[in-house]
Every structure is written in C-alpha cells, then in structure tokens.
C-alpha cells in the first residue's frame, strides 16, 4: 500500500469466517443434504476389468426390480453427445464400446432406495472381452501397447502464444502434448556443466470429505441440478452440449462444498443423475461413496526428465525437459495440467533457453485431473530437487545458488509474460533464517533442505463477473460465481466489499450460487478468486457505491466530492443523513436496491505464451529439517517452515489456513504411501487404508509465515494464495535427506523402504 492510502477497517482483519457458525453447528447445507419428495437414489455398476470390450449388456431384469424407475446402459445414450472432457471429449456417461479402467461406469440405476438400486444392479448381465492392459506410463507408450482409443476422440487444441504449442496423438496412448520453447537452442553448448536427471512423481487422491454428489430433477423441460462443483458455469455449458439442451434451461446450483482440491471440476456425477432424472421424471440423487471417489479422479503420476546447463560460476543458462503425465483412462483435464506442468518446469529462475515438452499418456487406471498445485507440484519436485543436485555438484550452497539465479521482483517470467510479483530472495531468506539453515549441522543423519515452490496463478484468459445489490436499509448482497469450497473466500470477498462501502462485515451476504442469476465465472480454481474475481467484485462494489453517492448528492443538493459514505449514512461535513430515509422519500416506502456490475479479464496477448499474461504469481517458500533413520529409512520430519506471500492479506487467518492446509497436503505426496497400484488394481482406495496426514503427524517444528510483500495485482494489493505452500514440501524434504545422509532420492513418495534402498545402493561397491 502506498503511504497516502487511507487506513483499512475491515480488510486485513482476521475476522472469524462468515461460514464458521453454520459449518461448526451442522446447519450448513451441502449438496449431500439436498433432498426432495419422491427423490430417487442412483447407484452405478462399475467395470471389474481394467480394459475390456463390452460385447453385451442386458438390463432387462434390473428394470423389473422393485423400486426401480430408470436404468442407464449404453442403449440410453442415443440422441446425446454422450462423451465429455475438457479439451478432448472422450469420457462416456456409461461405457459404450469399451471399459478402460477398473471402476469405469458401465450402467446406472435410479431406485426408491439405494438398496433397491444395488439389488437391481446385481441383476445386470454384462459380457466382456478382456483386453491387454497398460497400467503405467512407460508400458503405455511402448510400440506394442494396446491403445485405449483406436480412433481419435473429438477434441481441440487451443490457440497458444509466443513459443508455446499443443498437439494430439503424437504416439500410442499419447492424448496431448504441450510444448514451450524460447531462446537459442544452442545455449547448452556454451555451458560448463550439463546435468540430466530423471524424477518420478507419485499419485495422490484428493480425499475431499464430501464425495462427488449431485441431485438432478426436471422442472418441466428445465434441468435443475444441485452439484458439489467448482466450475458450475462451464459445467452448465458442457451439460448443454451433452444433452443437446438449451443452456438457459439448465440451472446449476451450488451450496457449500465439502472440499474439492481440484477434483470437483466439470462432469462427475451430473450426467448420470440428469439422465436418470430425465428418464424417471423424478428427482435423482447420485452420491458416490469414498471408494468411488478413488475410482473417479486422482492426481497425475509423472516421469520428469530434466536437463539443465549451467556455467562454472553457477549461472543458470538453459533447461530442457520432458514430462510424461499418467492421465489415467480418460483425458479429463490432462491437457490443461500438461500446459501448467510444462510451463512451470523452469521454476522462477533466469534462463536464456528453455525447451519443454509435456505429454499426457493414457493408462488403464483412474482418470487423473486437476489437483491442487495443478502440475506445479510435479514440476517443483523435479526442478527444485535438481537445483540441489547441481549445487552439491558445483560445491555451492543450495541457498546461495538459488539466490544467485532467482528472478528479480518485476522481471518477466519468460518473454511476453508478466513480471513476478514477489521478492523471491526475501521469501527464501525468510524461511532459511527461520529454520536456522545457515547454522545447520549437516550429516550424521540430520539435515536441512530448501525449495521454492512456484506456479502461475489466476488461470488462463479467465473472465469473472460480479454483481452488488444494496437494499434500502443497507443490506448488501454480493453475487459472484466463486464457490465457498472451504477456502474462506466468502469471508474474504465480503471483507473487500465491506471495506469499499465502509460498512461492517455482517451487512454483507453471499448468496449461494445459482447459474440462473449469479453472474458468470469460469470456475473456482487456479488460486484466482482473490485476484480475478476480486477485481470484478471491487468494480461492482465501486459502481454501486457511485450510484449511491450520486443519488445522495442529488438529494442533498451537493456534489459527490462533498459527501462520504459512512455505514449507510451520508456524512456531509458534520451532518449525518441516514440513507433509508432519503431512499424512501424518493423511491417510495417500498424502497429500492442499488446495483453495480463488475467484470475482469486479462487481455488477449499473443506475445504471452498462454495467450494472456499471468495475472498473479504464486510462491511457496519451504524449508525442511529431517532426521533419517539409517537402519529403517524412516524420515522423521523435525521442522517444516513454509511461507506464502498474500501481497495484502484480506483476512490473515484465512490466508494462514490456506498456507498451512496446502503445506500439510504436500506432506501426503512426500511422506505418505499415496495411491498404490498393483498393475491396474488400486490397493488402498478406501478411507481405512489410504493415509493422509493427521493432526498428530504434523511435526512440532511446523511453522507457516504469512508474508505481505505488497506487490499483488488484486484489490488492496492482494495476490493469489492457497496452493503455493504445498509445492516446495516434497523437494525440500528430499533436499534435506541428501543434506542428512548424502543420498539423493529421485522418486516419490519418500517411503522408508525407498529411502533405505537408496542408502543401500549408495553403500554398495
């Protein structure tokens, strides 16, 4: 903030979240709570085979079962555009010709009770012709690998800007490639040292406590669907395409969401619920079990080859890389994740040349999609691990090497891009100082590691709209399409509005999202809300305020410059004029509402690789201290220090919650078993066997430091937050392990067995 800015009253305060009471008292309404008289329950029959041709399916007996009102098999898809996806429309509502992973939907039943639906599903007869499977990236790319799609599904490659490109089907089971190149390809030749490393990234599940769930009903010919969904407007558009249905006759409503972490984008339960509702003409609820969540969406496992050229003095020169993402059985958001993983692989460092490819490889496993960090987690793991490898090889301290090469504040990330909006060195020094990095005693089983997590934030070419309504008595409604998914955005946005209108926070309401009247938003993702949506909210608020001020000035026969808005009164000199009286005097006793509309979207810019410049950059600085048990390989995390930069924290408590939550989520991928596959069979896909960090797993030395560097592009200087602090965790720990025992681990998760194997390898002659 500049020195003349007025003091803030609401922004910057750590108010209790506006959703705290309903959520902690059990009165908050989630989609799982939505119910209607006569509502049916949907259950799904899922493929027991990882790859098979569907030769016959007979649901006759199921249709005759008690309580059954509708059954879906491929026969009910006629007349629809029955496949969905982001760039590539390859995932069917239920299997059409093949099943492509264990858990693929084959049929669905809507019955009066879930038990009746299950009993009906048990009557369905399916004949499969089992096909060879590919369960991992490398086997799926082999020349002899069976193809998941013999024919190319419908899809697009979006337009890219300077240096970036996309392509489809460049190899067997390769559904998409993103590439980015800049600078002189001969740059490696001038380097004193070139490092080539291969890193493996494991696969987490989002583990959101509210499952994938929707409730659909037909209201006349209007499709009315309640959904636990992060992007209701794109969902509406996709549903309109799938069902050949007018968009204005599809209504998506989103109550509170019980977390998503990226998983709840686009179609999940909705097409089945809607189709069953259309067939039965009854409301249908489709609520997955936790086990079904595991069979619906996951993070991308990845192989990352990274080649980096540096000068003898440590100056970074060139980096090339090839990433292969395990997309699972359907493309889902893989092309988008590929864009981001590839684009983020360089990290926030000064390079003269970059040449990155990221391929999406289909395998017979759970489809992979958006996951907090969105490719940045994979990229940071490889990039930040290799920087330590380079530092140790050059005899340099990893901290110093990073400080030497980090981008400067305001320096463009790559040609055509916006400048980074944090002081990277300040952030890194902060966590290094806090953990005691410079005084560390390396070796003897104990060590420290650093990492700089990095991602572009705010989405790509992302538009957002908002509307403000202010009632006669000063009640404020903020309508915007950002969903409250646990991140506290309802509170933060309301604080912005309250600040701008000089009103107390409790006068701002945040109505639940309904696509019939909520202004458009592209989705709640990419840590975008506090910048992209917040700019639209700011504009809407200021426009509404301007109308109020002009109205008041007219009533008081003065200029707008002579008056101030003060908690729904107009202050003119030492006079206070309550607005309700003025409003009713002019508009009548029934009152009036002032409104304001806001819009924000970055400009199209062909010089920017992703066609628009990044709105905000998100960083997570991390430092870890570990103690490694050389006999078991167990890594004991003694300290974990993370820090994000909020620019200006709209609500410091909310920001802290985001930083700490994302850091702990980063622990899952680093130190916990993750999703374990035995070939195409998921071994631990349930709540009992899948381990995520508990409160008791958090080390005593866990510290998060919220920075407010003041360089953010959003309202009051806010910038993106919420994903950054998970990005550095795995690599900081791996770097600490090497500092402790001199062994480099290149594969996640850092399980005791894997660490011990690496110790054994290092000790073997």
Partner 1 sequence: MYTHATDAGWISRSHQAIAPFRLVRPASIEEALEAAAEENASFIAGGIDLVRRMRGGDRWQTLVDISGLSEMKVTSDEGDHLRIGALTSHWEIETGELIRKRLPNLQAAWRTIGNVRIRMAGTLGGNILAREAGYDGLVLLGVMGAELVFVTSSGEAVVIAGTGAPLPDRPALLTSVRIPISADTGLAFDRSLKPVVSVAVCKSGDTATVGVGCAFNSPRYSTIRQGEDAQSISSHFPDAIDNPMGGAAYRSRMVGVLAARMLAGGNGL
Contact residues for partner 1 (CB under 8 A)? 41, 43-48, 102-103, 106-107, 113-115, 117-118, 121-122, 124-126, 287-289, 291-292, 295, 631-632, 634, 673, 676-678, 683-686, 688-689, 691, 694, 752-753, 756-757
Q: Which is nearer to partner 1, 397 or 697 (CB)?
A: 697
Under DSSP, the state recorded for 147 is P
Closest CA to 200 of 52, 306, 298: 306
Q: Which is nearer to partner 1, 20 or 61 (CB)?
A: 61
Minimum CB distance to partner 1, residue 454 (Å): 31
Q: Which is nearer to partner 1, 62 or 531 (CB)?
A: 62
Minimum CB distance to partner 1, residue 677 (Å): 7
Q: Which is nearer to partner 1, 101 or 343 (CB)?
A: 101
| CA–CA separation, 145 and 369 (whole Å) | 23
- CB distance 203 to 675 below 8 Å: yes
Q: Which is nearer to partner 1, 171 or 673 (CB)?
A: 673
Minimum CB distance to partner 1, residue 282 (Å): 17
Name the residue with tokens 């008791």. 696
Minimum CB distance to partner 1, residue 174 (Å): 25
- CB distance 359 to 288 below 8 Å: no
End-to-end CA separation in angstroms for the chain: 60
Minimum CB distance to partner 1, residue 298 (Å): 15
Coil, strand, or helix at residue 140?
helix
- CB distance 335 to 369 below 8 Å: no
Minimum CB distance to partner 1, residue 749 (Å): 12
Minimum CB distance to partner 1, residue 278 (Å): 23
Coil, strand, or helix at residue 731?
helix
* Token duo for residue 378: 């994979």
The rounded Cα 404 to chain-centroid distance in angstroms is: 31
| CA–CA separation, 4 and 534 (whole Å) | 22
Minimum CB distance to partner 1, residue 361 (Å): 20
Q: Which is nearer to partner 1, 116 or 491 (CB)?
A: 116
Q: How many helices (H) and strands (E) does the chain have?
A: 17, 34
Minimum CB distance to partner 1, residue 99 (Å): 9
- CB distance 719 to 647 below 8 Å: yes
Coil, strand, or helix at residue 639?
strand
Coil, strand, or helix at residue 146?
coil
Characterize the bridge pairing of strands 193-201 and 301-310. antiparallel
| CA–CA separation, 286 and 51 (whole Å) | 25
| CA–CA separation, 344 and 405 (whole Å) | 16
Q: Which is nearer to partner 1, 67 or 419 (CB)?
A: 67
| CA–CA separation, 543 and 596 (whole Å) | 5
Minimum CB distance to partner 1, residue 107 (Å): 8
Q: Which is nearer to partner 1, 103 or 166 (CB)?
A: 103
Sign of the CA dihedral running 539, 540, 541, 546? positive
| CA–CA separation, 38 and 18 (whole Å) | 33
Q: Which is nearer to partner 1, 196 or 689 (CB)?
A: 689
Q: Which is nearer to partner 1, 30 or 188 (CB)?
A: 30
Minimum CB distance to partner 1, residue 105 (Å): 9
Minimum CB distance to partner 1, residue 702 (Å): 19
Output the DSSP codes for 417-458: SPBP-S-HHHHHHHHHHHHTGGG---BTTEEEEEEEEEEEES
| CA–CA separation, 398 and 391 (whole Å) | 5
Q: Which is nearer to partner 1, 212 or 343 (CB)?
A: 212
Minimum CB distance to partner 1, residue 763 (Å): 14
Q: Which is nearer to partner 1, 172 or 200 (CB)?
A: 200
Q: Which is nearer to partner 1, 743 or 756 (CB)?
A: 756
| CA–CA separation, 138 and 153 (whole Å) | 22
Minimum CB distance to partner 1, residue 626 (Å): 14
Q: Which is nearer to partner 1, 97 or 753 (CB)?
A: 753
Output the DSSP codes for 26-81: T---BGGG---TT-EEEEEEE-SSSSEEEEEEE-HHHHTSTTEEEEE-GGGGTTS-
Q: Which is nearer to partner 1, 102 or 414 (CB)?
A: 102
Output the DSSP codes for 675-728: --EETTEESS-STTT-----GGGS-TEEEEEEE--S--SSGGG----SSGGGTT
Minimum CB distance to partner 1, residue 126 (Å): 4
- In sequence order, what are the beta bridge partners of 599? 465
| CA–CA separation, 89 and 87 (whole Å) | 7
Q: What is the CA radius of gyration of the chain?
A: 27
Q: Which is nearer to partner 1, 123 or 193 (CB)?
A: 123
Closest CA to 363 of 681, 674, 685: 681
Q: Which is nearer to partner 1, 102 or 650 (CB)?
A: 102
Minimum CB distance to partner 1, residue 292 (Å): 5
Measured from the Cβ of residue 412, the count of other Cβ atoms closer than 10 Å reads 15
b/e code 683-699 from CB counts within 10 Å (16+ = b): ebbeeeebebbeeeeee
Residues 6+ apart with CB under 8 A from 405: 314, 315, 316, 349, 350
Minimum CB distance to partner 1, residue 740 (Å): 17
Q: Which is nearer to partner 1, 69 or 340 (CB)?
A: 69
Minimum CB distance to partner 1, residue 136 (Å): 11
């Amino acid at each position: 903030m500049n020195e003349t800015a007025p003091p803030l009253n609401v922004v910057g305060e750590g108010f209790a979240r506006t959703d705290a009471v309903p959520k902690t008292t059990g009165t908050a309404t989630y989609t799982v709570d939505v119910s209607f008289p006569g509502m049916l329950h949907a259950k799904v029959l899922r493929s027991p085979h990882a790859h098979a041709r569907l030769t016959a399916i007979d649901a006759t007996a199921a249709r005759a079962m008690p309580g059954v009102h509708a059954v879906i098999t491929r026969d009910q898809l006629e007349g629809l555009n029955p496949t969905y996806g982001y760039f590539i429309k390859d995932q069917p509502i239920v299997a059409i010709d093949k099943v492509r992973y264990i858990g693929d939907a084959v049929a669905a039943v809507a019955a009066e009770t879930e038990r009746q639906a299950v009993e009906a599903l048990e009557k369905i007869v399916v004949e499969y012709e089992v096909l060879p499977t590919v369960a991992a990236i490398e086997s799926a790319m082999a020349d002899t690998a069976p193809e998941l799609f013999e024919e190319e599904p419908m899809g697009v490659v979006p337009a890219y800007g300077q240096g970036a490109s996309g392509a489809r089907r460049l190899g067997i089971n390769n559904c998409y490639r993103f590439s980015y190149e800049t600078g002189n390809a001969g740059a490696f030749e001038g380097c004193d040292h070139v490092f080539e490393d291969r890193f493996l990234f494991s696969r987490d599940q989002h583990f959101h406590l509210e499952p994938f769930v929707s409730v659909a009903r037909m209201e006349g010919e209007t499709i009315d669907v309640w959904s636990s969904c992060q992007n209701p407007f794109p969902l509406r558009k996709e549903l309109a395409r799938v069902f050949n249905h007018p968009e204005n006759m599809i209504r998506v409503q989103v109550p509170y969401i019980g977390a998503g972490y990226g998983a709840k984008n686009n179609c999940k339960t909705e097409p089945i619920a809607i189709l069953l509702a259309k067939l039965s003409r009854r409301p249908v609820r489709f609520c997955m079990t936790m086990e079904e969540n595991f069979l619906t969406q996951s993070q991308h496992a990845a192989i990352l080859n990274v080649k980096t050229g540096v000068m003898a003095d440590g100056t970074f020169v060139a980096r090339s890389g090839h990433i292969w993402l395990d997309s699972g059985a359907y493309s889902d958001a893989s092309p988008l994740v590929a864009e981001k993983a590839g684009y983020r692989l360089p990290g926030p460092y000064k390079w003269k040349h970059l040449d990155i490819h990221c391929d999406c490889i289909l395998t017979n496993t759970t489809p992979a999609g958006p996951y907090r960090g969105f490719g940045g987690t994979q990229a940071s793991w490889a990039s930040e691990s290799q920087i330590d490898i380079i530092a140790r090889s050059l005899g340099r301290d990893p901290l110093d090497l990073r400080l030497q090469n980090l981008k400067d504040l305001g320096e463009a990330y790559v040609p055509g891009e916006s400048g980074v909006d944090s002081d990277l060195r300040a952030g890194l020094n902060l966590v290094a100082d806090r953990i005691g990095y410079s005084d560390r005693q390396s070796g003897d089983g104990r060590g420290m590691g650093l990492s700089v997590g990095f991602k572009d934030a705010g989405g790509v070419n992302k538009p957002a709209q908002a509307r403000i309504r202010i009632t006669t008595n000063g009640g404020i409604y903020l309508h915007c399409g950002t969903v409250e998914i646990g991140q506290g955005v309802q509170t933060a946005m309301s604080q912005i509005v309250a600040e701008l209108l000089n009103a107390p926070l409790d006068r701002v309401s945040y109505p639940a999202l309904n696509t019939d009247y909520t202004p458009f938003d592209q989705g709640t993702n990419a840590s975008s809300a506090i910048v992209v949506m917040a700019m639209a909210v700011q504009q809407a608020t200021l426009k509404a305020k301007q109308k109020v001020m002009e109205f008041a000035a007219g009533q008081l026969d003065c200029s707008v410059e002579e008056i101030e808005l003060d908690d729904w009164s107009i202050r003119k000199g030492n006079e206070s004029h309550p607005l309700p009286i003025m409003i009713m005097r002019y508009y009548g006793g029934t009152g009036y509402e002032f409104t304001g509309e806001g819009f924000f979207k970055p400009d199209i810019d062909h010089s920017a690789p992703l066609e628009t410049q990044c709105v905000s950059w998100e960083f997570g600085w991390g430092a870890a201290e570990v103690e490694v048990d050389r006999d078991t390989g167990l890594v004991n995390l003694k300290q974990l220090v993370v820090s994000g930069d909020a620019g200006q924290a709209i609500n410091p408590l909310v920001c802290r919650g985001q930083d700490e939550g994302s850091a702990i989520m980063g622990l899952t991928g680093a130190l916990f078993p993750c999703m374990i596959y035995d070939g195409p069979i998921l071994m631990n896909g349930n709540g009992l066997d899948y381990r995520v960090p508990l409160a008791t797993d958090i080390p005593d030395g866990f510290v998060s430091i919220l920075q407010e560097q003041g360089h953010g592009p959003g309202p009051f200087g806010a910038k993106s937050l919420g994903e950054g602090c998970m990005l550095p965790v795995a690599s900081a720990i791996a770097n600490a392990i090497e500092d402790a025992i001199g062994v480099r681990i290149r594969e996640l998760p850092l399980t005791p067995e894997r660490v011990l194997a690496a110790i054994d390898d290092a000790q073997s002659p």
